[in-house]
């Protein structure tokens, strides 16, 4: 059962605040501390040396994050919104895509600077967060939000593609793991913020319309979509639950893998590199799956006719 009424908007706003705090904390630890940089470097070295199936698919995925592909996804998003007579979705979805990508560029070019804080650290200036990953994540989540019932199919596919594209930037050496995680959290923050704002505005507009028609406040609340409990549907609930479970498992496995690394970290230890990379891949996949699960639960408010 999806959260109802104003609860959904408040939960989305809370998720946006948590995401913003996560971005700040991640930047502080991974960019501004020597230990964070060493862990980042260890994972990056593991990605560079990984030759398995994960690396192959991830490289293909990151190569697909091109101007034609992103443009195609965004055009399809617009077409779906118009075909479904949900043109009002285009403004919040446009705000999501533009806001997240502009935020990434401001953070990486204005707010965050990177310098090596220890030996063996490879400098990747202006790389936090990853622009490629932000672009892929926001284009895909906009498509999911505009797709109506098809979101139960597109959400898991979008999570897989975004995860693979993010990991792919590590495999090809474009970005560090913190850059990828930061990009996904930026996209999540804007997603939740837009859902919250749209939810509050939609609810306020519906209440005003109800009052103008002479109905009382209690009845107006009762007649709002979601006020009596608007479910995800069986398919939506199943997909959201599976994505949520995958998110919890991935995040737990990733956290366990990173905390089990022996200290001090040996940047030249191949075994540590591979373990760290596997753990980071679990974190990226788990975080992306959890984000998409919340998108299904706190999805864009239904258009009011």
B/e letters for 166-196, b = 16+ CB within 10 Å, e = fewer, are bbbbbbbebbbbbbbbbbbbbbbbbbbbbbb
Per-residue pLDDT of 206-234, as tens digits, reads 667 666 766 555 554 444 444 333 457 88
Per-residue pLDDT of 25-37, as tens digits, reads 999 999 899 999 9
Residue 158 three-state SS: helix
**Across 51-65, 124-138, 205-219, 245-259, least confident range:** 205-219
Inter-axis angle of helices 5-30 and 177-212, nearest 10: 160
User: Is 260 within a domain?
Assistant: yes
When divided into structural domains, the chain yields a total of 1
Q: How confident is the model at residue 131 (pLDDT cuts 50, 70, 90)?
A: very high
User: Is 302 within a domain?
Assistant: no
User: Is 64 within a domain?
Assistant: yes
Look at residue 52 and tell me whether its pLDDT is greater than 80. no
Res 19: pLDDT: 97
Q: How many CB atoms lie within 10 A of CB 138?
A: 28
Look at residue 3 and tell me whether its pLDDT is greater than 80. no
Residue from 178, 134, 140, 176 nearest 159 by CA: 140
Q: How many CB atoms lie within 10 A of CB 17?
A: 13
Res 229: pLDDT: 38
Look at residue 65 and tell me whether its pLDDT is greater than 50. yes
Res 215: pLDDT: 55
User: Is 71 within a domain?
Assistant: yes
User: Is 305 within a domain?
Assistant: no
User: Is 304 within a domain?
Assistant: no
Average pLDDT over residues 251-274: 91
B/e letters for 113-123, b = 16+ CB within 10 Å, e = fewer, are ebeeeeeebee
Q: Per the structure block, which two tokens stand in for 231?
A: 């479910």
Query: What is the C-alpha separation between 241 and 55, in angstroms, rounded?
Result: 28
* CB contact at 8 A, 108 and 127: yes
Look at residue 273 and tell me whether its pLDDT is greater than 50. yes
* CB contact at 8 A, 293 and 243: yes
Place of tokens 């009596």: 228
**Across 59-73, 121-135, 168-182, 222-236, least confident range:** 222-236
Taking all residues of the chain, what is their mean pLDDT, rounded to a whole number?
A: 85
Res 303: pLDDT: 42
What domain range includes position 14? Answer: 5-297
Q: Per the structure block, which two tokens stand in for 251?
A: 């995040």
* CB contact at 8 A, 138 and 189: no
User: Is 303 within a domain?
Assistant: no
Average pLDDT over residues 17-29: 95
């Amino acid at each position: 059962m999806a959260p109802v009424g104003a609860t959904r908007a408040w939960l989305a706003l809370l998720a946006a605040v948590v995401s913003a705090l996560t971005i700040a904390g991640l930047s502080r630890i991974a960019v501004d501390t020597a230990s964070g940089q060493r862990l980042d470097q260890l994972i990056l070295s593991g990605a560079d040396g990984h030759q398995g199936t994960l690396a192959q698919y991830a490289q293909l995925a990151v190569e697909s994050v091109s101007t034609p592909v992103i443009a195609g996804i965004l055009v399809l998003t617009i077409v779906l919104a118009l075909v479904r007579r949900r043109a009002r979705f285009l403004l919040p979805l446009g705000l999501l895509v533009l806001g997240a990508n502009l935020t990434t560029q401001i953070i990486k070019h204005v707010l965050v600077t990177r310098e090596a804080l220890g030996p063996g650290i490879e400098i990747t200036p202006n790389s936090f967060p990853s622009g490629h990953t932000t672009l892929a994540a926001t284009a895909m989540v906009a498509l999911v939000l505009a797709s109506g019932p098809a979101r139960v199919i597109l959400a898991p596919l979008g999570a897989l593609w975004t995860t693979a594209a993010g990991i792919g930037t590590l495999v090809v050496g474009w970005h560090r793991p913190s850059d990828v995680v930061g990009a996904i959290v930026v996209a999540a923050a804007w997603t939740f913020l837009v859902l919250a704002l749209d939810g509050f505005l939609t609810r306020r507009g519906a209440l005003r319309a109800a009052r103008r028609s002479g109905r009382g406040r209690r009845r107006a609340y009762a007649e709002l979509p979601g006020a009596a409990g608007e479910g995800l549907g069986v398919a939506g609930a199943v997909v959201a639950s599976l994505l949520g479970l995958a998110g919890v498992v991935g995040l737990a496995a990733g956290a366990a893998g990173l905390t089990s690394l022996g200290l001090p970290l040996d940047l030249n230890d191949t075994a540590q590199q591979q373990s760290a990379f596997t753990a980071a891949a679990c974190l990226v996949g788990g975080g992306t799956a959890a984000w998409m699960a919340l998108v299904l639960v706190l999805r864009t408010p239904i258009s009011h006719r």
